[in-house]
Amino acid sequence: MKNILLVDDDKDLSQSLANLFDPDKYHFDFLEDGMEVGDFVKDHDSVDLVMLDVNLPSLSGLDVLKQIKQIDRELPVIIISGFVSTENAIEAMKEGAYEYLTKPFQLEKLIETVNNACGLNGQNLPTDISSVSKLDLDVDEIVGKSPEIVEIAKLIGQVANSDAAVLIFGESGTGKELVARAIHRSSKRKNNAISSVNCAALPETLLESELFGHEKGAFTGAYFKRIGKFEQADEGTLFLDEIGDMSLLTQSKLLRVLQEQELERVGGNETIKVDVRIIAATNKSLVQCMKEGAFRVDLFYRLKVVSIYLPPLRERRLDIPILIDHFMSKYANQLQQSNKKISKKAIQLLSKYNWPGNVRELENNIHTAMVMGKTDVLQPEDFPIFIEGNSNLEVDLDVLQEDYTETFKKIIDPVMPKLIAGSPGQIFQFLESAFERAIISSCLKHFDGNQVKTSETLGISRNTLRDRISRYDIY
């Protein structure tokens, strides 16, 4: 029999949760106030699990969690919350919570978590932190309420107190550096420096100097001694962005520093000890890079102690309205203007757009609209993506039939610089999917949604058409 203490001021909810479990395996005790929990745990050695609401009448659930962990560090505690707060999720996992669950619960997830915490699913396993499907948009906070955001916030809390290397995967613009900074802010190194290096922005010789520093006279133009990022981040954190673009030679030198925790400046002989936590990020497939011989296998596993995947914005559209509100408030403060509103039509269009540049592109569009919008209510035409998409293009059907290329170039040429800046390495995939979506949407509209006529006219099978309709969320 497993004994569970359930702490929630909602009696009905507490009883409903208890009723989900087999009474032959579980016994529940109930408390409604956090002030009573510490004494209860001290007086009852038989408690196997505490389920704890965040919002309690006289004491925060997070404060109660800290009390429990001071009494019994090994006692598993599941935090339950009525609203999504990435800050609470990070704090809960950092303080040793077994799991952080939000209402309304997914019942299967809740039951599985309780069973695992009590060791009734074979063994008492901690939440798996190796696979995560957010986005940190601001240096000071994580914005969003999608399941992906909550999972990443929990993971940040879990890894915060360790010095484990973290490898962050995700497309450009998803916020990899900001997740790295969130990890640093939650870690025991938070009072020391976090330095960052973009490995794709510097040629090999300059990158080596940037990382390890150089002595005066080490090479032509080295007129003074330079302290590298590793030394600057001593006892702190070093963020290596676009690690997949680092040369093999620099990779080997980086691996030595990670293994030995020491380095030599370029052109120097002095061995310098460093204590640095590494967080790396990439928008490439490092597995593919390893297959091609462009990335060292031993370095990959040295960096990938914990991995975090940041999904593109198009895969978590639930967060888009929240991000819109966040960025509008941010730029209203920066521009010292009264808060503007946004039309429902604009929100709908922004939520449906694929955002190849991800959150960075969304933020730029909001910034531009806040600056250039002529009224207090932002309309679709205030956003660059819709202005560019609606540019007047005269199409001569005779020319179009003879040469599609020139017609499409008229569309692509004006936006290519933005595509290169916003999503390098993914432009072809984005344009291909955009073209498919546009032509299918247009044809469906012409035939009033008739899929039979649309598939026949386009010359594709109905199965292919259905697949594209589902893939691109075509309505």
Position 353 in a domain: yes
- Same domain (yes/no): 451, 354: no
Residue 109 predicted with pLDDT over 70: yes
**Could you tell me the CATH number of the domain that includes residue 442?**
1.10.10.60
Query: Which of 233, 104, 97, 108 minimizes the C-alpha distance to 153?
Result: 97
Q: Do the domain assignments include residue 107?
A: yes
Instruction: Work out the average pLDDT over 293-303.
Output: 95
- Residue 308, H or E segment: strand 306-310
Q: In this structure, is residue 122 part of a structural domain?
A: no
What is the structure's pLDDT at 403? Answer: 62
| 302 domain-assigned | yes
Q: Which residue has the tokens 């490995």?
A: 199
For residues 273 and 347, state if they share a domain.
no
pLDDT in tens, 182-198: 999 989 999 999 999 98
For residues 213 and 215, give the distance between their C-alpha atoms in angstroms, rounded to a whole number.
7
**Residues 319, 332: one domain?**
yes
Does 274 have pLDDT greater than 90? yes
Does residue 305 sit in the same domain as residue 171?
yes
| Res 143: pLDDT | 83
DSSP 6: E
184 and 253 both lie in a single domain: yes
* Gap between the Cα atoms of 179 and 245, Å rounded: 20
What pLDDT score was predicted for residue 126?
34
Mean pLDDT of 252-275: 92
Q: Is the pLDDT of residue 164 over 60?
A: yes
Residues whose CB falls within 8 Å of the CB of residue 25, separated by 6 or more in sequence, listed in order: 1, 2, 120
This prediction's pTM: 0.63
Tell me whether strands 166-170 and 277-282 are parallel, antiparallel or unpaired. parallel
Last residue of a domain, one of 263, 296, 311: 311
The pLDDT score that the predictor gives to residue 391 is 47
Q: Tell me whether residue 128 is in a domain.
A: no
pLDDT at residue 396 in the model:
56
Looking at the structure, do residues 368 and 414 belong to the same domain, yes or no?
A: no
Q: Please tell me the predicted confidence (pLDDT) of residue 168.
A: 95
Q: Are 268 and 223 in contact (CB under 8 A)?
A: no
What does the pLDDT average to over 333-340? 81
Q: Which of 23-32, 103-112, 394-403, 462-471 is most confident?
A: 23-32
Look-up: residue for tokens 């497939």? Answer: 285
pLDDT, tens digit (0-9, with 9 covering 90-100), for 4-60? 999 998 888 888 888 888 888 999 999 988 898 999 999 988 899 999 998 888 888
The string of DSSP letters for 34-99 reads GGGHHHHHHH-TTEEEEEEES--SSS-HHHHHHHHHHH-TTS-EEEEESS--HHHHHHHHHTT-SE
> CA dist 124 to 3, 20, 49, 75, 114, Å?
15, 20, 12, 12, 10
CATH of the domain at 320: 1.10.8.60
Evaluate whether residue 124 is within a structural domain. no
Confidence (pLDDT) at 134: 30
| Mean pLDDT, rounded, for 459-467 | 82
Q: Are 179 and 156 in contact (CB under 8 A)?
A: yes
Tens digit of pLDDT for each residue in 365-374?
A: 998 888 888 8
Q: Is the four-CA dihedral 332, 86, 108, 51 of positive or negative sign?
A: negative
User: Residues 69, 169: one domain?
Assistant: no
What pLDDT was estimated at residue 138? 37
Mean of per-residue pLDDT scores for the chain: 84
Of 368, 389, 410, the residue at which a domain comes to its end is: 389
In what helix (H) or strand (E) does residue 238 lie, and over which residues does it extend? Answer: strand 237-241
Q: Binning pLDDT at 50, 70 and 90, where does residue 298 land? A: very high
The domain containing residue 204 runs over which residues?
Answer: 147-152+160-311
175 and 280 part of one domain: yes
CA–CA distance, 176 with 170 (Å, rounded to integer): 7
Q: Per the structure, how many domains does the chain have? A: 4
